[in-house]
Amino acid sequence: MGFVPKNPQPALAPVDRAILRLLAQDARMPNNAIAEAVGIAPSTCLTRMRALREHGVIRGFHADVDPAALGLGIQAMIAVRLHAHTKERISSFTAEIPRLPGVIAAYHLSGADDYLLHVAVPDTDALRDFVLDHLTAHPAVAHTETSLIFGHMRGESVS
């Protein structure tokens, strides 16, 4: 086994990994607190954090807002299958996805389904309207399958 080569990374210093772990846990942790926790000076910590941002290791800092508090009490995963792939149609579809109202994330997948859409909507009526108006009606879409999300949990490792 092992047909695909390993993926060695340009090497990330242990200090940087520690900084990332802390920021992934609490993105509003003050720079000097991070510095103290990882054992470097605040100015050094700032330099490293900036480098991590500039090199794309840190993509951004986001508040995790409960969709239900915004009136979006229903979440769903929608598997989307596209018609035999015309690149233009597909790219028009993919370009529209992140702008659709209620889309939390979209995943481009291998396998039978082409896309997986994570959406949050106010109620089941809105879910039906979302699928009918934005997916079924789209010329690139061949088939969709919607599953309600009963609950979800963040992993303790990455992201």
Partner DNA sequence: TTTGAAACTGTTTAGAG
Partner DNA sequence: CTCTAAACAGTTTCAAA
Q: ∠ at Cα 68 (62, 72), nearest 5°?
A: 95
Return the number of the residue (53 or 85) whose C-beta is nearest DNA.
53
Say if CB 15 and CB 38 are below 8 A apart: yes
Q: Give the residues lining the site for DNA (CB under 7 A).
A: 13, 15, 30-33, 40-44, 46-48, 51
- Selected binder of its own copies within 77, 83, 138, 143 (CB under 8 A): 77
Beta-bridge partner residues of 75: 120
Question: What single-letter DSSP state applies at residue 6?
Answer: P
Q: Which of residues 39-58 bind its own copies (CB under 8 A)?
A: 55-58
Tokens of 142: 């061949």
For 13, other C-beta atoms within 10 Å of its C-beta total 9
139 binds, among its own copies, DNA, none (CB under 5 to 8 A by kind): none
Window 110-129: residues binding its own copies (CB under 8 A): 110-111, 113, 116, 118-120, 122-125, 128
Q: Considering the complex, state which of residue 84 and residue 150 has its C-beta at the smaller distance from its own copies.
A: 150
80 makes contact with its own copies (CB under 8 A): no
For residues 135 and 114, the answer to whether their CB atoms sit within 8 Å is no
Shortest approach of its own copies to residue 139 CB, angstroms?
21
Smallest gap from Cβ 31 to its own copies, in A, equals: 10
Strand pairing of 115-121 and 74-82? Answer: antiparallel
